[in-house]
A and B are shown apart, each in its own frame.
Chain A
Amino acid sequence: MKTVGQHGEVWAFSENRDLMIELLGKGNELAQKLQTKLAAVLLGHEVEKEAKEFTGYGACKVYVVDDPMLENWSSESCVSALTYLVRQYKPEIFLFGSTRKGKEFASRLAMRLETGCVPDCTHLSIDDNGRLLMGRVVYGGNAVATQFCRVDPQIATVPPRVFEKPTYKKGEGEVIRVEAKLEEPRTEVVEVKEIEAPKVKIEEAKVVVAGGRGLEKKEDFKILDELAETLRGQVAYTRPLCEDRKWFTDWVGLSGHTIKPVLYIGCGISGVIQHVAGIRDSKIIVAINKDPEAPIFEITDYMVIGDLYEIVPALAVALKKLLKTG
């Protein structure tokens, strides 16, 4: 066990700016607990401005590898830069953003350093021995596992919006420019197609009306759209509607978006554990389902056993009426 003053730095890295700021907030808390410093890692080309910005979110140091080869986030170049930095400066904890690229980088870095990596952490704290305790959802949402890593650096990846963004204060951090020998990419990106982004991010919606297999046709979503509009909320989908029926591309659930709206209304959703894992932290959960045995009712505040094709439009009407007169 290390004593005060012996702990290595806490580092954070994400190619996603918002997520990076969230990591800095949590990283700062961990660093304070260990009485060590928080550092941001920044890879890219001509990134001076961002380096300064990170110091305002709590980073005492910003390690910058500035190289044109890092501009398009090639895995080999980035992973080799990260490996070089860790070997040189020996952080104790390294937090990554759980984007798909971030998770790949973290896994590959962990392999090169022969250490562990706990992905998609929703809980991070320091135990009495000064180790990082990492909590994550496992078994398709059936459980939360608490894990620790006995090798340094202890690597964790963190999904978006798990931790709060800290407030910006003009910081006095040090920017450290590091020359690292980078590996050439072994893959070549030949084409990029943008996926059309939804107007409002589902994670940011206060009210979510979600539809599942109980909806027979894609067009039937217009009744959910109308209810969502009444509630100034967003419509969301389950994975089978995206992967099996190919109606949509983006789903809520363990492998998709995790949401915690103030109000969640599940329509024709049976509530398989993977979906439930993505909505569990909603404040109020309403479920509308024909099947009284549907597992979603196990985690529901208000249960309606009935036909969504009747209940959903009626609910929109009732709400319009009550909100007008109420």
Chain B
Amino acid sequence: MLRIIVCVKQALDVTQIRADPATRHLITVDAPRKISDFDKNALEEGIKLKEKMGAEVIVLTATSEDAKMILREALAMGADRAYFVMDPSFENSDTLATSYILAEAIKKIGDFNLILCGEASVDSYSAQVGPRLAERLDIPQITYARKLSLDNDTVTVERTLEDRYEVVKAKMPALVTVTGETNEPRIPSLMAIMKATKKEIVTWSAEDLAISKEKVGETGSAIHVTEVLAPKVERKKVLIKGESAAEVAEALAKALIKEGVIGR
């Protein structure tokens, strides 16, 4: 049977992040976590392929914090099995280190036909883990898929570039990264959520994967972050008032002309 591995990241819900106005530091501790949006599209695509042609869908995450909730959700959506690779030493891993952890986990999971990833994560948006993972596993890769189909040992993808769509084929095993255009991820039913509690979540630590501590976390990362600050907001915030739409419009038009931003 076909085996599809979907890599998912537990991302911060970026709409729920607040900044301290005095220091401009972000307050992320209480921000909710979720399956990163495009990873969810990748998962949905994997489940659709399973429904269409039969496949085992495995979901995999690597993290330094608890992320079993997102794996439960993935299982409820229709994944068959989950691998939860967690170790405190993974904290502050960059994409070099993260792709190493995922590659080691995949080697231990064993044979597969297809790996699906989101095009990028919603919080750090680097779009690198997929390409790096394919490099590490030495398999073909196709990024930015909007449509995807399988036929024997070939994956065919329509990918979105800036000015064109390309239809690209690759021999499997291969890795494909998926965009938000691809599908509308399902919301699992209560029944599916209940059933998912019986599905297996395999937990692995760094030790279980014989991961070298020098290659993960801060020490194993090439990229170091010196500061993260909320941007300065300096806007006028003038409320335009008026008795009618026409009055408001006229006041706004005058203000804009005065600003010198209306071209003549």
Q: A107-B95, A139-B14, A318-B252 are in contact. Are A192 and B164 (CB under 8 A)?
A: yes
Using Cβ atoms and an 8 Å threshold, which residues of chain A touch B221? 116
- Check if A307 is an interface residue, CB within 8 A of chain B: yes
A304 with B95: CB separation less than 8 A: no
B135 with A142: CB separation less than 8 A: no
A140 with B164: CB separation less than 8 A: no
Q: State the interface size on chain A (CB cutoff 8 A).
A: 83
Residue of B227, B233, B248, B255 touching A299 (CB-CB under 8 A)? B233
- Check if A232 is an interface residue, CB within 8 A of chain B: yes
B132 with A111: CB separation less than 8 A: yes
- Check if B12 is an interface residue, CB within 8 A of chain A: yes
Tell me the minimal C-beta distance from B215 to chain A in angstroms. Answer: 10
Q: Mark A182-212, 1 if CB is under 8 A from B, else 0.
A: 0000111111111101000000001100000
Q: When chains A and B are docked, how far (Å) is the Cα of A231 from the Cα of B6?
A: 47
Q: When chains A and B are docked, how far (Å) is the Cα of A232 from the Cα of B254?
A: 17
- Check if A229 is an interface residue, CB within 8 A of chain B: no
Using Cβ atoms and an 8 Å threshold, which residues of chain A touch B231? 143-144, 280
A317 with B246: CB separation less than 8 A: yes
Interface 9-residue window, one of A27-35, A85-93, A166-174, A281-289: A281-289
Q: When chains A and B are docked, how far (Å) is the Cα of A111 from the Cα of B229?
A: 28
Tell me the minimal C-beta distance from B73 to chain A in angstroms. Answer: 20
A254 with B235: CB separation less than 8 A: no
B264 nearest CB neighbor, chain A only: A323
- Check if A1 is an interface residue, CB within 8 A of chain B: no
Interface 9-residue window, one of A5-13, A37-45, A47-55, A146-154: A146-154
- Check if B79 is an interface residue, CB within 8 A of chain A: no
A262 nearest CB neighbor, chain B only: B261
B262 with A314: CB separation less than 8 A: no
- Check if B240 is an interface residue, CB within 8 A of chain A: yes
User: Within residues 261 to 304 of chain A, which ones have a CB less than 8 A from any CB in chain B?
Assistant: 262-263, 272-274, 280, 283-286, 297-304
Using Cβ atoms and an 8 Å threshold, which residues of chain B touch A107? 95, 127-128, 131-132
B233 with A306: CB separation less than 8 A: no
Using Cβ atoms and an 8 Å threshold, which residues of chain A touch B15? 140, 272-273
Interface 9-residue window, one of B64-72, B107-115, B139-147, B188-196: B139-147
List of 3 A-B pairs having minimum Cβ-Cβ separation, nearest first: A140-B14, A116-B222, A314-B249
Residues of A within 8 A of B (CB): 75, 99-101, 103-104, 107-108, 110-112, 114-120, 133, 137-151, 186-195, 197, 206-207, 231-232, 243, 254-255, 262-263, 272-274, 280, 283-286, 297-307, 310-311, 314-315, 317-319, 322-323, 326
A-B contact pairs, 10 of them (CB 8 A): A103-B128, A108-B135, A119-B125, A139-B123, A147-B223, A148-B223, A263-B256, A274-B14, A284-B256, A286-B256
